[in-house]
A and B are shown apart, each in its own frame.
Chain A
Amino acid sequence: MPTDTVEWETLNIPKNDIKETKTNGEDNSESPFLPSIFEQAKELIDDKESSETKLYASKTSDSNVSLTNEDTEAIFDLAFELPGIYTKSEVWKLTSNQKTQLGRIWTPVLNRLLPKINNMDLIVACFITGEIIAEKGLEYQHAKRATIINDNSRNEGARQDKPM
Protein backbone atom coordinates (compact mmCIF):
# COMPACT_ATOMS: atom_id res chain seq x y z
CA MET A 1 0.00 0.00 0.00
CA PRO A 2 1.48 3.33 -0.93
CA THR A 3 2.17 5.58 2.00
CA ASP A 4 3.26 9.15 2.33
CA THR A 5 4.50 8.73 5.87
CA VAL A 6 8.07 9.00 6.99
CA GLU A 7 9.47 5.52 7.50
CA TRP A 8 10.68 4.58 10.94
CA GLU A 9 12.26 1.43 12.17
CA THR A 10 9.97 -0.60 14.38
CA LEU A 11 11.37 -1.39 17.77
CA ASN A 12 10.39 -4.74 19.18
CA ILE A 13 11.51 -5.08 22.75
CA PRO A 14 10.45 -8.28 24.50
CA LYS A 15 8.97 -7.29 27.84
CA ASN A 16 10.69 -10.22 29.55
CA ASP A 17 13.95 -8.53 28.72
CA ILE A 18 13.00 -5.27 30.37
CA LYS A 19 14.23 -4.43 33.82
CA GLU A 20 13.00 -1.35 35.58
CA THR A 21 15.62 1.36 35.49
CA LYS A 22 17.53 2.06 38.63
CA THR A 23 16.16 5.57 38.80
CA ASN A 24 12.59 4.39 39.28
CA GLY A 25 11.18 5.74 42.48
CA GLU A 26 14.10 8.06 43.01
CA ASP A 27 14.03 11.78 42.47
CA ASN A 28 16.23 11.90 39.41
CA SER A 29 15.99 15.53 38.34
CA GLU A 30 16.79 14.66 34.73
CA SER A 31 13.75 12.45 34.43
CA PRO A 32 10.64 13.97 32.86
CA PHE A 33 8.60 12.18 35.50
CA LEU A 34 7.88 12.94 39.11
CA PRO A 35 8.82 9.98 41.32
CA SER A 36 5.19 9.42 42.24
CA ILE A 37 4.36 8.46 38.66
CA PHE A 38 5.93 5.04 39.12
CA GLU A 39 3.34 3.93 41.64
CA GLN A 40 0.61 5.22 39.35
CA ALA A 41 2.07 3.37 36.38
CA LYS A 42 2.45 0.10 38.27
CA GLU A 43 -1.21 0.20 39.17
CA LEU A 44 -2.26 0.36 35.56
CA ILE A 45 -3.70 -2.91 34.43
CA ASP A 46 -1.66 -4.40 31.67
CA ASP A 47 -4.34 -5.87 29.48
CA LYS A 48 -2.30 -6.13 26.35
CA GLU A 49 -1.87 -9.66 25.15
CA SER A 50 1.25 -8.95 23.20
CA SER A 51 4.50 -9.75 24.95
CA GLU A 52 6.35 -7.14 23.00
CA THR A 53 6.62 -3.40 23.25
CA LYS A 54 6.28 -1.74 19.90
CA LEU A 55 7.24 1.83 19.40
CA TYR A 56 6.72 3.02 15.92
CA ALA A 57 5.80 5.92 13.77
CA SER A 58 2.90 4.24 12.18
CA LYS A 59 1.93 3.56 8.70
CA THR A 60 -1.76 2.76 8.72
CA SER A 61 -0.80 -0.76 7.84
CA ASP A 62 -3.77 -2.39 9.54
CA SER A 63 -6.23 -1.00 7.06
CA ASN A 64 -6.78 -2.20 3.56
CA VAL A 65 -8.61 0.95 2.63
CA SER A 66 -7.58 4.52 2.97
CA LEU A 67 -9.48 7.65 3.72
CA THR A 68 -9.28 10.46 1.26
CA ASN A 69 -8.64 13.98 2.45
CA GLU A 70 -12.28 14.64 1.82
CA ASP A 71 -13.22 11.75 4.12
CA THR A 72 -10.98 12.98 6.88
CA GLU A 73 -12.37 16.47 6.56
CA ALA A 74 -15.91 15.13 6.75
CA ILE A 75 -15.08 13.15 9.88
CA PHE A 76 -13.65 16.09 11.67
CA ASP A 77 -16.43 18.37 10.54
CA LEU A 78 -18.66 15.80 12.13
CA ALA A 79 -16.69 15.94 15.34
CA PHE A 80 -17.04 19.67 15.53
CA GLU A 81 -20.67 19.80 14.58
CA LEU A 82 -21.52 17.56 17.53
CA PRO A 83 -19.38 18.85 20.36
CA GLY A 84 -21.88 18.07 23.08
CA ILE A 85 -22.51 14.41 22.40
CA TYR A 86 -20.50 12.05 24.50
CA THR A 87 -22.17 8.67 24.64
CA LYS A 88 -24.53 6.65 22.57
CA SER A 89 -27.23 6.92 25.21
CA GLU A 90 -27.01 10.69 25.12
CA VAL A 91 -27.84 10.69 21.44
CA TRP A 92 -31.35 9.75 22.43
CA LYS A 93 -31.67 12.72 24.77
CA LEU A 94 -31.16 15.26 22.02
CA THR A 95 -33.67 17.97 21.31
CA SER A 96 -35.61 17.93 18.10
CA ASN A 97 -33.39 20.56 16.52
CA GLN A 98 -30.26 18.69 17.54
CA LYS A 99 -31.67 15.51 16.05
CA THR A 100 -32.39 17.31 12.82
CA GLN A 101 -28.84 18.51 12.73
CA LEU A 102 -27.53 15.08 13.65
CA GLY A 103 -29.48 13.35 10.94
CA ARG A 104 -28.61 15.91 8.33
CA ILE A 105 -24.92 15.61 9.01
CA TRP A 106 -24.55 11.97 9.84
CA THR A 107 -26.53 10.16 7.22
CA PRO A 108 -24.60 11.10 4.08
CA VAL A 109 -21.28 10.93 5.88
CA LEU A 110 -21.96 7.53 7.37
CA ASN A 111 -23.18 6.13 4.10
CA ARG A 112 -19.98 7.19 2.44
CA LEU A 113 -17.56 6.25 5.21
CA LEU A 114 -18.89 3.04 6.69
CA PRO A 115 -17.25 0.78 4.14
CA LYS A 116 -13.99 2.18 5.46
CA ILE A 117 -14.79 1.61 9.12
CA ASN A 118 -11.64 -0.42 9.75
CA ASN A 119 -9.42 2.54 9.13
CA MET A 120 -7.84 3.83 12.30
CA ASP A 121 -8.51 7.46 11.42
CA LEU A 122 -12.20 6.78 11.38
CA ILE A 123 -12.13 4.89 14.67
CA VAL A 124 -10.25 7.77 16.25
CA ALA A 125 -12.77 10.21 14.84
CA CYS A 126 -15.56 8.06 16.16
CA PHE A 127 -14.42 8.29 19.72
CA ILE A 128 -14.10 12.01 19.32
CA THR A 129 -17.67 12.23 18.20
CA GLY A 130 -18.76 10.18 21.14
CA GLU A 131 -18.10 6.57 20.32
CA ILE A 132 -21.31 6.50 18.40
CA ILE A 133 -19.96 4.23 15.73
CA ALA A 134 -16.73 3.22 17.41
CA GLU A 135 -17.77 -0.33 18.21
CA LYS A 136 -16.94 -2.50 15.31
CA GLY A 137 -19.80 -4.62 14.16
CA LEU A 138 -22.39 -2.11 15.20
CA GLU A 139 -21.60 0.36 12.52
CA TYR A 140 -24.45 -0.47 10.21
CA GLN A 141 -26.89 -0.52 13.08
CA HIS A 142 -25.81 2.98 13.98
CA ALA A 143 -26.08 4.07 10.39
CA LYS A 144 -29.66 2.88 10.47
CA ARG A 145 -30.23 4.73 13.70
CA ALA A 146 -28.87 7.91 12.18
CA THR A 147 -31.27 7.47 9.30
CA ILE A 148 -34.14 6.89 11.68
CA ILE A 149 -33.23 9.97 13.65
CA ASN A 150 -33.16 11.87 10.41
CA ASP A 151 -36.63 10.68 9.43
CA ASN A 152 -38.08 11.26 12.87
CA SER A 153 -36.62 14.68 13.19
CA ARG A 154 -37.93 15.60 9.78
CA ASN A 155 -41.40 14.56 10.91
CA GLU A 156 -41.01 16.43 14.19
CA GLY A 157 -39.75 19.44 12.31
CA ALA A 158 -42.77 19.26 10.03
CA ARG A 159 -45.05 19.15 13.04
CA GLN A 160 -43.34 22.14 14.55
CA ASP A 161 -43.68 24.08 11.35
CA LYS A 162 -47.45 23.76 11.33
CA PRO A 163 -49.19 27.06 12.00
CA MET A 164 -50.86 27.27 15.37
Chain B
Amino acid sequence: MIIQGMRGRGKTNLCKSYTSEMEPLYIVDIRNEYKHIPAFTNLSDFKTYILSRQYILDKGNIKKEQFRFTFRSQKELSILLELFAYFRNCTVVIDEADALCSMKLLASSIINLTMGSRNQNISLIFIGKRPFLIPIFIRSQCDQFIIFQVEESRDIKYLENRLRLNFPKQAYQLTTGEAIICKSGEKPELKKFPLFKEEIKK
Protein backbone atom coordinates (compact mmCIF):
# COMPACT_ATOMS: atom_id res chain seq x y z
CA MET B 1 0.00 0.00 0.00
CA ILE B 2 1.13 3.53 -0.72
CA ILE B 3 -0.36 6.45 1.18
CA GLN B 4 0.43 9.75 -0.42
CA GLY B 5 -0.48 13.38 -0.11
CA MET B 6 0.65 16.75 1.08
CA ARG B 7 1.86 17.48 4.57
CA GLY B 8 -0.86 17.67 7.21
CA ARG B 9 -3.60 16.17 5.09
CA GLY B 10 -4.05 12.99 7.13
CA LYS B 11 -1.57 10.36 5.95
CA THR B 12 -0.05 9.63 9.34
CA ASN B 13 -3.41 9.89 11.08
CA LEU B 14 -4.85 7.26 8.75
CA CYS B 15 -1.85 4.99 9.22
CA LYS B 16 -2.13 5.22 13.00
CA SER B 17 -5.78 4.14 12.89
CA TYR B 18 -5.26 1.53 10.20
CA THR B 19 -2.42 -0.20 12.02
CA SER B 20 -3.63 0.26 15.58
CA GLU B 21 -4.58 -3.40 16.03
CA MET B 22 -1.93 -4.91 13.80
CA GLU B 23 0.90 -6.90 15.29
CA PRO B 24 3.72 -7.50 15.00
CA LEU B 25 4.05 -3.98 13.64
CA TYR B 26 7.29 -2.15 12.91
CA ILE B 27 7.36 1.48 11.83
CA VAL B 28 10.32 3.35 10.42
CA ASP B 29 9.48 6.65 12.04
CA ILE B 30 12.21 9.13 11.19
CA ARG B 31 9.96 12.06 12.02
CA ASN B 32 9.12 10.68 15.46
CA GLU B 33 5.39 10.97 14.90
CA TYR B 34 3.97 7.66 16.10
CA LYS B 35 4.32 8.55 19.73
CA HIS B 36 1.58 6.20 20.87
CA ILE B 37 3.89 3.20 20.59
CA PRO B 38 7.36 2.45 22.04
CA ALA B 39 10.44 3.36 20.05
CA PHE B 40 13.86 1.90 19.51
CA THR B 41 16.19 4.85 19.36
CA ASN B 42 19.30 2.91 18.41
CA LEU B 43 20.32 -0.31 16.71
CA SER B 44 21.90 -1.75 19.81
CA ASP B 45 18.55 -1.90 21.59
CA PHE B 46 16.89 -3.47 18.58
CA LYS B 47 19.63 -6.09 18.43
CA THR B 48 18.82 -6.98 22.02
CA TYR B 49 15.16 -7.25 21.10
CA ILE B 50 15.91 -9.61 18.22
CA LEU B 51 18.04 -11.86 20.40
CA SER B 52 15.78 -11.75 23.43
CA ARG B 53 12.38 -10.92 22.05
CA GLN B 54 10.21 -13.08 24.25
CA TYR B 55 12.09 -12.04 27.35
CA ILE B 56 11.58 -8.36 26.60
CA LEU B 57 7.91 -8.83 25.72
CA ASP B 58 7.34 -10.67 29.00
CA LYS B 59 9.55 -8.55 31.22
CA GLY B 60 8.29 -5.31 29.75
CA ASN B 61 4.69 -6.49 30.00
CA ILE B 62 4.23 -5.43 26.41
CA LYS B 63 0.71 -6.26 25.34
CA LYS B 64 0.97 -5.33 21.70
CA GLU B 65 4.05 -6.14 19.69
CA GLN B 66 4.23 -2.76 18.04
CA PHE B 67 7.50 -0.88 17.81
CA ARG B 68 8.94 1.96 15.86
CA PHE B 69 12.43 3.06 14.98
CA THR B 70 13.63 6.60 15.49
CA PHE B 71 17.28 6.01 14.72
CA ARG B 72 19.44 9.07 14.43
CA SER B 73 22.01 7.89 11.94
CA GLN B 74 21.68 6.94 8.32
CA LYS B 75 24.05 4.02 8.89
CA GLU B 76 21.86 2.51 11.59
CA LEU B 77 18.80 2.97 9.43
CA SER B 78 20.56 1.24 6.57
CA ILE B 79 21.39 -1.78 8.75
CA LEU B 80 17.83 -1.88 10.03
CA LEU B 81 16.43 -1.96 6.50
CA GLU B 82 18.79 -4.81 5.65
CA LEU B 83 17.54 -6.71 8.70
CA PHE B 84 13.96 -6.31 7.47
CA ALA B 85 14.82 -8.89 4.82
CA TYR B 86 14.78 -11.43 7.67
CA PHE B 87 11.34 -10.48 8.93
CA ARG B 88 8.13 -12.38 8.26
CA ASN B 89 4.43 -12.47 9.17
CA CYS B 90 4.31 -8.84 10.17
CA THR B 91 3.46 -5.34 8.99
CA VAL B 92 6.19 -2.85 8.18
CA VAL B 93 5.43 0.84 7.75
CA ILE B 94 7.99 3.06 6.08
CA ASP B 95 7.12 6.68 6.72
CA GLU B 96 8.71 9.34 4.52
CA ALA B 97 9.37 6.53 2.04
CA ASP B 98 9.98 8.96 -0.80
CA ALA B 99 12.73 10.71 1.14
CA LEU B 100 14.34 7.44 2.22
CA CYS B 101 14.19 6.00 -1.29
CA SER B 102 16.01 9.09 -2.52
CA MET B 103 19.02 8.03 -0.49
CA LYS B 104 21.30 5.64 -2.36
CA LEU B 105 22.33 3.85 0.81
CA LEU B 106 18.75 2.93 1.68
CA ALA B 107 16.94 2.49 -1.61
CA SER B 108 18.31 -0.95 -2.47
CA SER B 109 17.43 -2.33 0.97
CA ILE B 110 13.87 -1.07 0.60
CA ILE B 111 13.63 -2.74 -2.81
CA ASN B 112 14.98 -6.00 -1.36
CA LEU B 113 12.41 -5.82 1.40
CA THR B 114 9.66 -5.33 -1.19
CA MET B 115 10.91 -8.23 -3.28
CA GLY B 116 10.81 -10.63 -0.34
CA SER B 117 7.63 -9.33 1.26
CA ARG B 118 5.17 -11.63 -0.51
CA ASN B 119 7.06 -14.84 0.27
CA GLN B 120 7.58 -13.78 3.85
CA ASN B 121 4.04 -12.54 4.38
CA ILE B 122 5.03 -8.97 5.16
CA SER B 123 2.43 -6.28 4.62
CA LEU B 124 4.20 -3.14 3.50
CA ILE B 125 2.87 0.38 3.88
CA PHE B 126 4.78 3.21 2.26
CA ILE B 127 3.91 6.77 3.18
CA GLY B 128 5.16 9.78 1.27
CA LYS B 129 4.36 13.10 -0.23
CA ARG B 130 5.74 12.43 -3.68
CA PRO B 131 5.34 8.80 -4.75
CA PHE B 132 7.19 9.20 -8.04
CA LEU B 133 10.33 9.40 -5.90
CA ILE B 134 9.64 5.84 -4.76
CA PRO B 135 11.33 3.38 -7.15
CA ILE B 136 9.08 2.08 -9.88
CA PHE B 137 9.66 -1.51 -8.78
CA ILE B 138 8.04 -0.75 -5.44
CA ARG B 139 5.20 1.23 -7.01
CA SER B 140 4.47 -1.56 -9.44
CA GLN B 141 4.06 -4.03 -6.57
CA CYS B 142 1.54 -1.83 -4.85
CA ASP B 143 -2.08 -3.04 -4.91
CA GLN B 144 -3.62 -0.10 -3.10
CA PHE B 145 -3.11 3.66 -3.28
CA ILE B 146 -4.62 6.02 -0.77
CA ILE B 147 -4.46 9.58 -2.03
CA PHE B 148 -4.80 12.61 0.18
CA GLN B 149 -4.80 16.13 -1.18
CA VAL B 150 -2.05 16.94 -3.66
CA GLU B 151 -1.50 20.28 -5.35
CA GLU B 152 1.77 19.93 -7.21
CA SER B 153 1.09 19.49 -10.90
CA ARG B 154 3.77 16.81 -11.19
CA ASP B 155 2.07 14.78 -8.44
CA ILE B 156 -1.31 15.11 -10.14
CA LYS B 157 0.10 14.16 -13.53
CA TYR B 158 1.77 11.16 -11.96
CA LEU B 159 -1.54 10.01 -10.49
CA GLU B 160 -3.36 10.44 -13.79
CA ASN B 161 -0.73 8.49 -15.71
CA ARG B 162 -0.15 5.81 -13.12
CA LEU B 163 -3.68 4.95 -12.12
CA ARG B 164 -5.64 5.76 -15.28
CA LEU B 165 -8.81 6.02 -13.22
CA ASN B 166 -11.60 8.54 -12.93
CA PHE B 167 -11.51 9.86 -9.41
CA PRO B 168 -14.75 10.72 -7.60
CA LYS B 169 -13.15 14.06 -6.74
CA GLN B 170 -10.12 15.90 -8.05
CA ALA B 171 -7.04 15.21 -5.92
CA TYR B 172 -6.35 18.91 -5.44
CA GLN B 173 -9.92 19.51 -4.16
CA LEU B 174 -9.70 17.00 -1.31
CA THR B 175 -10.03 18.42 2.20
CA THR B 176 -7.97 17.43 5.24
CA GLY B 177 -8.70 13.85 6.24
CA GLU B 178 -10.40 13.13 2.93
CA ALA B 179 -8.81 10.60 0.62
CA ILE B 180 -9.41 8.57 -2.52
CA ILE B 181 -8.92 4.83 -2.09
CA CYS B 182 -7.72 3.09 -5.24
CA LYS B 183 -7.66 -0.67 -4.96
CA SER B 184 -6.47 -2.80 -7.80
CA GLY B 185 -9.38 -3.67 -10.09
CA GLU B 186 -11.93 -1.64 -8.14
CA LYS B 187 -13.62 1.70 -8.67
CA PRO B 188 -11.93 4.51 -6.70
CA GLU B 189 -13.75 5.40 -3.52
CA LEU B 190 -13.86 8.72 -1.67
CA LYS B 191 -13.59 8.47 2.10
CA LYS B 192 -13.19 10.83 5.05
CA PHE B 193 -11.04 9.46 7.85
CA PRO B 194 -11.71 10.51 11.46
CA LEU B 195 -8.98 11.64 13.83
CA PHE B 196 -7.03 8.79 15.44
CA LYS B 197 -8.26 8.10 18.99
CA GLU B 198 -4.92 8.99 20.60
CA GLU B 199 -4.97 12.34 18.82
CA ILE B 200 -8.46 13.08 20.11
CA LYS B 201 -7.23 12.59 23.71
CA LYS B 202 -4.73 15.43 23.42
User: Is A83's CB under 8 angstroms from B133's CB?
Assistant: yes
A40-B60 in contact given A84-B102, A128-B103 (Cβ < 8 Å) = no
A53 to B59, CA, bound (A): 12
Q: Is B167 an interface residue (CB 8 A)?
A: no
User: Is A127's CB under 8 angstroms from B74's CB?
Assistant: yes
With beta carbons under 8 angstroms apart, the residue of B59, B79, B82, B102 that contacts A13 is: B59
User: Is B86's CB under 8 angstroms from A34's CB?
Assistant: yes
With beta carbons under 8 angstroms apart, the residue of A32, A55, A86 that contacts B105 is: A86
A73 to B9, CA, bound (A): 13
B120-155 interface mask toward A, CB cutoff 8 Å, 1 = contact, 0 = none?
A: 100000000110010000000000000000000000
User: Is B48's CB under 8 angstroms from A123's CB?
Assistant: no
A58-B44 in contact given A18-B55, A76-B7, A84-B102 (Cβ < 8 Å) = no
Q: Is B30 an interface residue (CB 8 A)?
A: yes
**What is the CB-to-nearest-CB distance from B80 to chain A, in angstroms, rounded to a whole number?**
10
Which of B33-41, B157-165, B169-177 makes up part of the contact surface?
A: B33-41
Question: In chain A, residues 19-60, which have Cβ atoms closer than 8 Å to a Cβ of chain B?
Answer: 19-24, 29, 31-34, 36-38, 40-42, 44, 46-48, 50, 53-58, 60
**What is the CB-to-nearest-CB distance from B1 to chain A, in angstroms, rounded to a whole number?**
19
Q: How many residues of B contact A (CB 8 A)?
A: 59
User: Is B133's CB under 8 angstroms from A55's CB?
Assistant: no
The interface residues of chain B lying within 8 Å CB-to-CB of A73 are 7
Q: How many residues of A contact B (CB 8 A)?
A: 53
What is the predominant secondary structure among interface residues of chain A facing chain B? Answer: loop
Closest residue on chain A to residue B38 by CB atoms: A55
The interface residues of chain A lying within 8 Å CB-to-CB of B72 are 120, 123-124, 127
User: Is B7's CB under 8 angstroms from A124's CB?
Assistant: no
**What is the CB-to-nearest-CB distance from B42 to chain A, in angstroms, rounded to a whole number?**
6
**What is the CB-to-nearest-CB distance from A27 to chain B, in angstroms, rounded to a whole number?**
10
Q: Is A92 an interface residue (CB 8 A)?
A: no
User: Is A54's CB under 8 angstroms from B47's CB?
Assistant: no
Q: Is B99 an interface residue (CB 8 A)?
A: yes
With beta carbons under 8 angstroms apart, the residue of A4, A8, A20 that contacts B38 is: A8
A60-B32 in contact given A33-B86, A55-B38 (Cβ < 8 Å) = yes
The interface residues of chain B lying within 8 Å CB-to-CB of A84 are 102
**What is the CB-to-nearest-CB distance from A63 to chain B, in angstroms, rounded to a whole number?**
11
- Please name 27 pairs of A and B residues whose Cβ atoms are closer than 8 Å in the assembled complex, sorted by A: A6-B36, A18-B56, A21-B52, A22-B54, A32-B26, A32-B90, A33-B53, A34-B86, A34-B88, A36-B86, A37-B86, A37-B87, A41-B51, A44-B79, A48-B42, A48-B45, A54-B41, A55-B60, A55-B67, A56-B41, A57-B38, A120-B32, A121-B32, A124-B72, A128-B103, A130-B103, A131-B74
9 A-B pairs closest in CB distance: A37-B86, A48-B44, A21-B54, A83-B102, A32-B24, A41-B50, A5-B35, A32-B90, A34-B86
